[in-house]
Structure 1
Amino acid sequence: MNNLQLELILNEKLSPQLVKDYSPNGLQVEGSEKVKRVVTGVTASLALIDKAVELNADAILVHHGYFWKGEPEPIRGMKGKRIRTLIKNDINLFGYHLPLDIHPDLGNNAELARLLGIKVEGGLEGHPQSVAMYGSLDSPISGKEFEERIEKALNRQPLHISPENVDKIISTVGWCTGGGQDYIELAAQKDLDAFISGEISERTTYVAREQDIHYFSAGHHATERYGIKALGEWLQEEHGLDVIFIDIDNPV
């Protein structure tokens, strides 16, 4: 497959033009015109690039790519080494950030809901491009039981901040994968029982305690593994590419 054709396929699937993002979505570093093997992963770290080189990949497809708003522009140091390695080995880099978070079928939020048994009911921001979602569980469970469910699904123990009513049962849940902890305010306003995200801030603890909502910090990397993996599997099934998912350990 041609690399620009692959970009067109991904753009048609993820509709990046509908989202205001912090980085460019699509082909970020151009490599070989012909793409047969694609390595997918959460972040375009040097470790992932080296693995793609080892596997003779023609392209890397990630959630966290390059050229973020506000980052230094010079291509030097760590950034330079990554990009030199891509160019030297003729490897394309494709990155999709918010479009992959919010995709209703393959996105990080959709995949997290599937893994945790949450029925999606809508976006916390009240529109289709909302990066935070809400839904309900099939049956109410305790905070401890939900903590254990998250740990089993993501293979990572979440940090659980209980509300002052520690015995509050969970029936409704809001969530935003990655660094979406501040959406807990919207979740509390919507009177949800719990909110899940990847990261936690110092202030999040007090919001959870004082606004009567369970909070689960389940890991930025851990909550965002599954969208890029699902997207790669879709590419392989629908378009016949050889796709290999590589999970580079990241405890954050």
Structure 2
Amino acid sequence: MAEQEPNRMAREIDLLWGPREPARRGPKPRLSRGAVVEAAVALADAEGLEAVSMQRVAKELGYTTMSLYRHVDSKEDMLTLMAEAATGDAPPAPEGDGGWRAGIETWAEAIMRRYRAHPWMVFVQLSGPPSGPNGLQWMEAGLRELVRAGLRTGDALEMLLLISATLRETVRMEVEMGRAAEAAGTTLSESERDYARALREVVTPERFPTIRRMLDEGVLDQAAPAPDPGGGPAGGPAEGLDFGLQRILDGVEAYVRATAGDARGA
């Protein structure tokens, strides 16, 4: 009977948790999986994910493309290993007396720093929840704080997915808008002001009353903040991210209070 092919997730688990290098006899080879992944991450940091290919990484390392296939089976596997490596293995420590809310804020800030350091991460196609040791450590850190808030583990997972998606999508929009602004020879803040000026020519209070109110209040004309210390562009979507995150956490607090009250009244 033919041996059954492992499913995608089982294969990914094996890739991220299995031996980093196949067992070999003789002297240790100069090229390793770790070196391949490190070179690929450096290339993506410098030139974007679109620059990464097996051929290009091999060239950066001074090896043939076939040499890389002895350590990484495919570009898809290399992207999976790159994302796991760039995630890092040091999520924030528990906040102690700071409370669960401060813990989630610290966790979110750390995730944003990771994305800002490796913007290409938000363009790697997701195959599912984290499955590698690094990704799971970050998942554990986030879940821990939400469970401390009083959520059941299933509810904590739902909220963590919402927060994670918000962070990832916000950075993705910021990167794409930054690229468009750079291609036009301008900045994100200048692009927003140009957008507002153009809209004022066509947006009327009769047809778009709320948008017109926003324009009249100068929301898009505000002076650009100082550059983000984490490396993000000034004036990007992430500038207002804290407001949204705080409202999500307000919702968690309100839900926990309500469910606790219902339990006492039962």
TM-based fold match above 0.5? no
> Which structure is higher in RCO with an 8 Å CA cutoff and minimum separation 6?
1
> Greater CA radius of gyration, 1 or 2?
2
- Which structure features the higher share of helix residues? 2
